[in-house]
Amino acid sequence: MDIFFIKAGQLILSLCILVALHEGGHFFFARLFKIRVEKFYLFFNPYFHLFSTKDKWFTRLFPKFKEKETEYGLGWLPLGGYVKISGMIDESMDKEQMQQPVKPWEFRAKPAWQRLLVMIGGVLVNFVLALVLYASILFTWGKDSLPIDRMDMGFAYNQTAKEIGFRNGDVPVSADGILFTDWNYGEVVRSISEASSVTVLREGKSVQLTMPEGLDMLQMLKESPAFLAPIVPSVVDSVLSGAPASEAGMVSGSRILAVDGTTVTTWNQIDSIISRKNDCLVMGCSAEDSVRIRTVSMVVVAPNKTTTDTLSVFLTADCRMGVLKSSLLDYYELQHKDYGFLESIPAGVRYGINTLSDYVSDLKYLFSAEGAKSVGSFGTIGNLFPATWDWQSFWSITAFLSIMLAFMNILPIPALDGGHVFFLLVEMIIRRQPSDKFMERAQTVGMFLLFGLMLLAFYNDIVRFFF
């Protein structure tokens, strides 16, 4: 429960920052061009018929106040935020106002280029915020990385990778001639899935592998065992109290030499064996077979001993033995780089642009069956945050969400900023405004599309939570 509240707190704080600044971008340009802003709300506040704003507890929880012509408030539905700009067809669908004569302070009374800046203001602020955050993170904490060329124990590959031509021990060097630098599982898999050829270092020699067409990055990321994983010796870092391994007599520092009669030297081999057992359990089996599958014979040698012991470990229902593996950092040293103030700015900009490029590249998977399943709402986003409050991770994830929010909002979908931008660009080209009726219908269609996407996201979160 503590973990839930820590993640929820980080999510809420991040959303508050992103939404307030996004809407602040629209607000800034509107006020710059003397356009009246009627409302500025963090989160939405659709009328809740069970309570009116006269209810004291409701007012205290969701306060509002008015300064000059703008009402500022906190909404009760945390699905975003909004600014209501006079003379504009938006989610408020204020048709009555649009039927009145045009006022000089209204959005529709301003030239197209000013209206365009008002609409891209939120996206612009989110993108700049992400670059500022990335630069600040590098300036404050620097960057820790693990260069791939130092990982001389090599990598282990699953069956899919071996069918392509990879072998255990290979070290990936480049994809389509672009060198791999730091070890990052997602980035390496992405590069391999998009490449026509990959070069690996095998027994001291460079070997080029031809990649098949149609590799699906999402499928590669979901595979168990992983498509590729750094080879880690089969040494037990620690044993959890009361876990199956502890009850069997395993101790911290033990080296596992064999599992069910199969000689092993790495955790990758152990994971592969355990994964096959888990697959059998997931497919369904009798109680007797379940006991047999979950009973594992392990040959181990304890620290400071030369003789081996054979232990019988009865795995949990999800095939866990309750040990922590030895870490990559036990065998490799991280490379740390500090950034000066001026140095951090271009580095942060490059990082932000590369992040945006990768995000845009991955969007094509949204239209696949697996991609649709990956869409999520608050549960999925909340799980991005760590189980402990760590400011470096918090700001890094917030920067990524800011990039994501900026790009999603600029898509030319009615009801999003990008939809308004698209129609404004058309207006600037053909020199004629779309009719109010057309804009109202487009807004309605866009809102239905967004509502459907939100329903899919909530459904996926529910499925992940319960199943």
Please report the pLDDT score of residue 250 as a whole number: 94
129: its two tokens: 């915020």
Please report the pLDDT score of residue 93 as a whole number: 59
Please report the pLDDT score of residue 221 as a whole number: 86
Domain ranges for the chain, please list them. 2-136+393-466, 148-229, 236-330
User: For the domain bounded by 148-229, which CATH number is listed?
Assistant: 2.30.42.10
**AA identity, residue 91:** E
Please report the pLDDT score of residue 87 as a whole number: 84
Please report the pLDDT score of residue 464 as a whole number: 66
Please report the pLDDT score of residue 376 as a whole number: 62
DSSP string across 334-391: PEEE---HHHHHHHHHHHHHHHHHHHHHHGGGGGSHHHHHH---HHHHHTTS-SS--H
Q: How far is CA 404 from CA 73, 278, 349, 391, in A?
A: 25, 35, 15, 20
Q: Is 72 left (phi over 0), alpha (psi -120 to 50) or beta?
A: beta
Identical fold for domains 148-229 and 236-330, yes or no, is: yes
Stretches in the chain below the pLDDT threshold 70: 1, 46-62, 90-95, 365-379, 458, 460-461, 463-467
Please report the pLDDT score of residue 49 as a whole number: 47
Q: What is the pTM of this model?
A: 0.82
Cα–Cα distance measured from residue 181 to residue 409, given in angstroms and rounded to the nearest whole number: 32
Buried b (16+ CB within 10 A) or exposed e, 385-411: beeeeeeeebbbbbbbbbbbbbbbbbe
419: its two tokens: 């939809």
Residues with Cβ < 8 Å from 235, sequence gap 6 or more? 253, 254, 255, 256, 325, 326, 330
> CATH: 3.40.190.10, 1.10.10.10, 3.60.20.40, 2.30.42.10. Which one for 236-330?
2.30.42.10
Cα–Cα distance measured from residue 149 to residue 167, given in angstroms and rounded to the nearest whole number: 17
82 beta partners: 41
- Kindly report, residue by residue over 47-76, the tens digit of the pLDDT: 654 455 555 555 666 677 788 888 888 887
- Give the up-direction half-sphere exposure of residue 179: CA atoms within 13 A in the CB hemisphere: 6
Instruction: Kindly report the backbone phi and psi dihedral angles of residue 317, in degrees, each rounded to the nearest multiple of 5, phi listed first.
Output: -60, -25
